[in-house]
Amino acid sequence: MLGDLPVEDARSRLADEKVYEIHYPTVRNLPNLMRNFGLARRVLAAERPDIVFSTGAAIALPFFTQARFFGARTVYLEPVDRISSPGLSGQLVYPFADEFLVQWERMREFYPGARNVGVVL
């Protein structure tokens, strides 16, 4: 999936990879959220991944909520810039994450049961 890289740079780096483009913008855009739920269902059905891993992207919610139906575990890594307050994506996917990772000990206050893995760069 394409993230926030400039489109041409992303396309050139992923030229030999299988890419599914999501519906943007993803943040606080209900129509695209609904489209991405359908996309997630199609991708999960086609790919049948063992693990769905996210590093804080808004697209995580559609994938995490459906991953179990396709036999996939979910792992979420709260972004490194989340030092003293949780991000919206993390809060939304927390109930659906099989494993929830944080990069700062303080974040465990917001996510009981989360594992602090330290700073991942």
* Res 5 pLDDT > 90: no
* Res 11 pLDDT > 90: no
| CA–CA distance, 55 with 57 (Å, rounded to integer) | 6
Q: Please give the span between the terminal C-alpha atoms of the chain, in angstroms, as a whole number.
A: 20
Give the CA distances from residue 39 to residues 11, 21, 48, 102, in Å, rounded to whole numbers and listed in that order: 19, 9, 14, 27
Average pLDDT over residues 55-77: 96
User: Is this structure's pTM higher than 0.85?
Assistant: yes
Q: Which residue has the tokens 């927390």?
A: 94
pLDDT score at 2 = 45
The DSSP code sequence of 41-72 is HHHHHHH--SEEEESS-TTHHHHHHHHGGGT-
| Residue pair 100/78 in contact by the 8 Å Cβ criterion | yes
Between 9 and 33, the more confident residue is 33
pLDDT (tens digit per residue) in 97-109 = 999 999 999 999 9
Average pLDDT over residues 54-80: 96
Residue 28 confidence class, pLDDT cut points 50, 70, 90: confident
Mean pLDDT (the chain) is 92
pLDDT score at 6 = 61
